[in-house]
Amino acid sequence: MNKELENAIRDAGRIREPLKRIRVKDYKEVMYKKEQMPLSLPDIDSLRDFGGCYLVHGLYLLQVARLRMIALASMIDVSITAEYTRAADRLKKDAPEIEFETICGDFRDQSLYTILRETDAALLYEVILHQENYVEVIRNVCKKTRKFICLAQPCIIEDFFVLPGGAVMLQFFDEALKDLLRTGSFWPKEPSVERFSAAYWMWGQTTSHLINLMRGFGWALYEGYVIDNVCGSCWEYPMLVFSKK
């Protein structure tokens, strides 16, 4: 490529969405901020959590249900945990006016969305990393959400990409390269695979990629910021809220 043109492309590509950057002490502080994000949303009476049982057992959904007393709290996960079920049952006894919808299902499956009611808001926390058809998943979530979508997850740093809006399929990278990208992160060492496996980390999406993707489905960035160095020096952690245009 013409060197002058290459440099011009690099310079133009550095123009990206300006987001506030912060640092935190540890991942517990990230979890607290993930709790606060849906709690701050205005005028919502229903919330759906996609994949929110893994490790945290519905923490983010249940906090909103408890403190905001919403009408509908919906959980979708391929593995509904006993801890979540017990916690939801306890809250239901204390607040019988809250409807708890629990669906054991794979949200990569298009047919799942035919039975879903719309909700005011939805949570996509650390799940888009693990879906081979994540663009379709986001499209379907957008269709079933009226007002806000909260998205939070590790994203590969923009410095690795000349152009904005980048994403890479990590699952089939050489192990030596994956080990470098894992440095200081909570991405565990995983077995090598030859076919897609949603059990493991698939994608290195950039923050600009997620913002552009949501824009393409008709959603604008309502508020957001980026947490630095919580998942190693190769990653950043955006906390993003989108609203329907």
Identify the domain containing residue 227 by its residue range.
Answer: 16-244
- Confirm if 124 and 196 have CB atoms less than 8 A apart: no
Residue 10 lies in a domain: no
Residue 105 lies in a domain: yes
Residue 1 lies in a domain: no
Instruction: Return the axis-axis angle of helices 82-94 and 59-68, rounded to nearest 10°.
Output: 0
pLDDT at residue 17 is higher than 90: no
**C-alpha–C-alpha distance, residues 135 and 24, integer Å:** 30
Residue 38 lies in a domain: yes
Among 200, 206, 183, CA closest to 16: 206
Other C-beta atoms within 10 Å of 230: how many? Answer: 21
Residue 7 lies in a domain: no
β-bridge pairing 203-205 and 155-156 = unpaired
Residue 4 lies in a domain: no
What are the backbone dihedrals phi and psi of residue 233, each rounded to the nearest 5 degrees, phi first? Answer: -75, -10
Looking at residue 224, which CATH number applies to its domain? 3.40.50.150
Number of domains the chain contains:
1
Residue 147 lies in a domain: yes
pLDDT at residue 1 is higher than 90: no
CA-CA distances (angstroms) from residue 7 to 2, 96, 165, 208? 9, 62, 18, 20
Q: Which residue has the tokens 């020096």?
A: 233
Q: What is the pTM of this model?
A: 0.96
Q: Which residue has the tokens 């606060």?
A: 36
pLDDT digits (tens, 9 = 90+) for 115-146: 999 999 999 999 999 999 999 999 999 999 99
Alpha helices in the chain, H assignment, sequence order:
3-13, 27-39, 59-68, 82-94, 134-143, 175-181, 207-216
How many alpha carbons fall within 13 Å on the CB side of residue 58?
Answer: 29
Residue 159 lies in a domain: yes
Other C-beta atoms within 10 Å of 12: how many? Answer: 11
**C-alpha–C-alpha distance, residues 31 and 60, integer Å:** 9
pLDDT digits (tens, 9 = 90+) for 86-96: 999 999 999 99
The helix/strand/coil state of 126 is: coil
Among 142, 119, 143, 32, CA closest to 70: 119
Average predicted confidence (pLDDT) for the chain: 96
Q: Which residue has the tokens 């905001």?
A: 68
pLDDT at residue 31 is higher than 80: yes
**C-alpha–C-alpha distance, residues 82 and 80, integer Å:** 7
pLDDT digits (tens, 9 = 90+) for 222-235: 999 999 989 999 99
